[in-house]
């Protein structure tokens, strides 16, 4: 069988998402399980979005609009760009794969940081093999090292992925620093700003959303998602903002009907729920601060985060800790696949779930 498989896959470890609640309930015979592993919005979708989904149920025997016309028009109006500057995918993970398939040629490389979102590595190796993937060590304070990027860039570099804020560290590059770097990147190299957690940043004046750059330049792409602040993780909608020429070529690798009817209707309705977005961001900030403080007092060495999760260093065997937390009905994320052998990531949940996590963590550590 091995000889039949794309040889690039031999060097590839698949992405392993956080375990679903139902699996842990079955495995450990638990009634209550709290999931704080996948950076989901802990608040259910607004009634307006639920109504839009129900309204679409009678049309599920039809394929969706393959071009997502009305959703693109809504996003375009929201961002003050043209619909021709947009392309959608079932989550930004799929858009990342589209970018690599469309623009990475044989012999070229993808450049990013270590300890960042795993899909950059997966998409690169899947398409062009392990030689196509180059990563730079993070700084001592767990930020992207843009000076390291400058040194690592060469004639082979084609795509540069920057997650800001970064997953799983929650650290953020300041606006001026990131803008200076982008302006130095030659026009024959693409810079992809992955802004999945943009809405959680509490200092927007120091944040580069990159939309104007993406529209005006031909080597900047901005990624956004409805999976986080808009609470549509279960429907999978992400998108890219870029120059029309870039979007044209991404369209060549886009699968038809890639956004479901329900997802399109829900995302359209979500953009009219600004109060929900603001409430989610405000409660996340409040709960994140409380959670950070309590982890710090427990000696967990948490990292200050600009996202809806916190990375922490528990100072104990991660595999053992993770297994015991699962047995206690708490799903958080061990970070070995991201390059951290000594860290875990916890999503900021509602107050009740955060307290449940902290109580179980204290119990397990005391053992």
Residues 7-32: pLDDT tens digits? 777 776 777 777 888 998 998 898 89
Tell me if 324 sits within 8 A of 364, measured CB to CB. yes
Mean pLDDT of 317-323: 95
Residue 46 pLDDT > 70: yes
Mean pLDDT of 327-355: 96
| Chain CA centroid to CA 23, Å | 23
Q: Token pair of 262, please?
A: 């329900």
Residue 282 pLDDT > 90: yes
Q: Which of 287, 297, 295 is nearest to 358 (CA)?
A: 295
Residue 284 pLDDT > 90: yes
pTM of the full structure: 0.94
Q: What is the DSSP letter of 275?
A: H
Model confidence band, residue 169 (pLDDT cutoffs 50, 70, 90): very high
**What are the distances in angstroms from CA 132 to CA 5, 115, 158, 159, 160?**
19, 17, 10, 10, 12
According to the model, what pLDDT value does residue 12 have? 66
Backbone angles phi, psi at 141, to 5 degrees: -100, 20
Q: Which of 322, 354, 349 is nearest to 335 (CA)?
A: 322
Mean pLDDT of 341-359: 97
Convert the pLDDT of each residue in 175-231 to its tens digit.
999 999 999 999 999 999 999 999 999 888 999 999 999 999 999 999 999 999 999
Q: Token pair of 70, please?
A: 């009305």
What is the C-alpha separation between 309 and 299, in angstroms, rounded? 18
Residue 351 pLDDT > 80: yes
Q: What is the CA radius of gyration of the chain?
A: 20
According to the model, what pLDDT value does residue 190 have? 98
| Among the ranges given (14-18, 45-49, 118-122, 164-168), the one the predictor scored with the smallest mean pLDDT | 14-18
Compute the residue count for the chain.
367
Report the percentage of the chain scoring pLDDT > 90. 90
According to the model, what pLDDT value does residue 332 have? 97
What is the C-alpha separation between 87 and 20, in angstroms, rounded? 29
Residue 261 pLDDT > 90: yes
What is the C-alpha separation between 364 and 317, in angstroms, rounded? 12
Burial (CB < 10 A; 0-12, 13-18, 19+), residue 173, is buried
What is the C-alpha separation between 68 and 286, in angstroms, rounded? 36
Q: What is the mean pLDDT of the chain?
A: 95
Residue 259 pLDDT > 80: yes
- Secondary structure class of 263 (helix, strand, coil): helix
Phi-psi region of 47 (alpha: psi -120 to 50; beta: other; left: phi over 0): alpha
Sheet holding 309-312, edge to edge: 309-312, 344-347, 333-334
Burial (CB < 10 A; 0-12, 13-18, 19+), residue 21, is middle
Residue 55 pLDDT > 80: yes
* Domains of the chain: residue spans and CATH: 2-44+274-366 (3.90.1150.10), 53-270 (3.40.640.10)
Report the percentage of the chain scoring pLDDT > 70. 99
Convert the pLDDT of each residue in 89-101 to its tens digit.
999 999 999 999 9
Mean pLDDT of 49-60: 96
């Amino acid at each position: 069988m091995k000889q039949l498989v794309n040889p690039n896959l031999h060097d590839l470890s698949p992405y392993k998402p956080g375990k679903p609640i139902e699996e842990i309930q079955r495995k450990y015979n638990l009634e209550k399980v709290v999931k704080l592993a996948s950076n989901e919005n802990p608040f259910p979708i607004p009634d307006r979005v639920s109504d839009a989904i129900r309204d679409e149920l009678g049309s599920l025997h039809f394929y969706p609009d393959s071009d997502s016309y009305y959703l693109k028009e809504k996003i375009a109006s929201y961002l003050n760009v043209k619909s021709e500057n947009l392309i959608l995918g079932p989550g930004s993970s799929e858009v990342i794969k589209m970018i690599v398939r469309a623009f990475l040629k044989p012999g070229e490389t993808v450049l990013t940081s270590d300890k960042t979102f795993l899909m950059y590595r997966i998409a690169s190796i899947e398409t062009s093999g392990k030689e196509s993937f180059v990563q730079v060590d993070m700084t001592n304070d767990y930020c992207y090292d843009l000076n390291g990027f400058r040194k690592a860039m060469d004639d082979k570099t084609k795509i540069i992925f920057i997650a800001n804020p970064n997953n799983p560290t929650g650290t953020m590059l300041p606006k001026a620093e990131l803008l200076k770097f982008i302006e130095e990147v030659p026009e024959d190299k693409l810079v992809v700003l992955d802004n999945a957690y943009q809405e959680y940043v509490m200092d927007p004046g120091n944040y580069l959303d990159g939309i104007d750059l993406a529209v005006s330049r031909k080597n900047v792409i901005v990624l956004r998602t409805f999976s986080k602040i808009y609470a549509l993780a279960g429907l999978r909608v992400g998108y890219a903002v870029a120059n029309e020429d870039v979007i044209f070529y991404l369209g060549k690798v886009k699968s038809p009907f890639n956004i479901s009817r329900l997802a399109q209707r829900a995302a359209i309705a979500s953009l009219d729920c600004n109060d929900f977005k603001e409430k989610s961001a405000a409660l996340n900030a409040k709960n994140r601060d409380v959670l950070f403080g309590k982890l710090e007092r427990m000696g967990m060495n948490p990292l200050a985060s600009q996202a809806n999760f916190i990375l922490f260093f528990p100072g104990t065997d991660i595999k053992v800790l993770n297994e015991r937390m699962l047995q206690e009905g708490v799903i958080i994320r061990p970070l070995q696949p991201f390059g951290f052998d000594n860290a875990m990531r916890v999503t900021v949940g509602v107050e009740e779930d955060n307290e449940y996590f902290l109580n179980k963590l204290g119990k397990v550590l005391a053992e």
